[in-house]
Amino acid sequence: MELKAIIVEDEQISREILKNYLGKYCPDVTVVDEATNVDEALQLLRKISVDLLFLDVEMPYGTAFDLLDQVGDRDFETIFVTAYDQYAKDALNRQAAYYLTKPIEIDELIKAVDLVKSIKEREEEVHIGLSVKEQNGSQLHDKITIPTQEGFEVIPIKDIIYCSADDNYTHVFLAHSQKLVSKTLKHFDEMLSEKGFCRIHKSHLINASHVTAYKKGKGGSVMLSDVELPVSPSRKLELFKFFS
């Protein structure tokens, strides 16, 4: 699969190095244009449809985060390339598919591009609206218990739409109610991962049978009933496994 890419980097030598590496080690990537700052990148993204953005963090007249905020809905994946590793957490929280530090390691660059290729290929293959695959031949009639102040409550797994983290607590969302449970999201992930649930984000665990749509914009998101939740790039492939 060919990936059309833009490099956003204010240092010419860094752009040349990355282009040379891509040409030699990532032949499926075609660099269609370059930008040296946020304004130039915005103008390009308004004119050109691309699959991948190689993005430096610190640039003249703004940062990578300013650019992503101004772009809004987007249909491309982002690979951050920077000399400053303190931005890693912010980058991943802004839906970056991968984070590379300078000087770029060839193996890491190849791994980053391969991840984006896998994501884009599965996005093309997936058709939301088809039935979720049955997990282990089950129709998910199981139930779980959640602790309450009085004891515990029994909830059918199929009634859970999604779970969201709140520090050491988890909000469990049902069709017409929600429960606040004194258990971590990791606890629910381990308990429900074999029951048709998918961790789509560090803060969200969803029941795949309740997904009504997938949107590519803003880095990727799913619709469940009337709720839209972001999908982390590193979690997309796991989500796509539920659909064919």
| Residue extents of the structural domains in the chain | 3-125, 143-240
Q: How many CB atoms lie within 10 A of CB 108?
A: 14
Yes or no: is domain 143-240 CATH 3.40.50.1820? no
pLDDT on residue 99: 85
pLDDT on residue 82: 83
Residue ranges, the chain, pLDDT below 70:
73, 86-95, 124-141, 148-150, 218, 244
Which positions ≥6 away from 196 have C-beta within 8 Å? 132, 135, 140, 157, 207, 208, 209, 242
pLDDT on residue 33: 96
Read out DSSP for 103-135? SPPHHHHHHHHHHHHHHHHHHHH--BTBPPPPB
CATH architecture of residue range(s) 3-125: 3-Layer(aba) Sandwich (3.40)
**pLDDT tens, 104-113?**
999 999 999 9
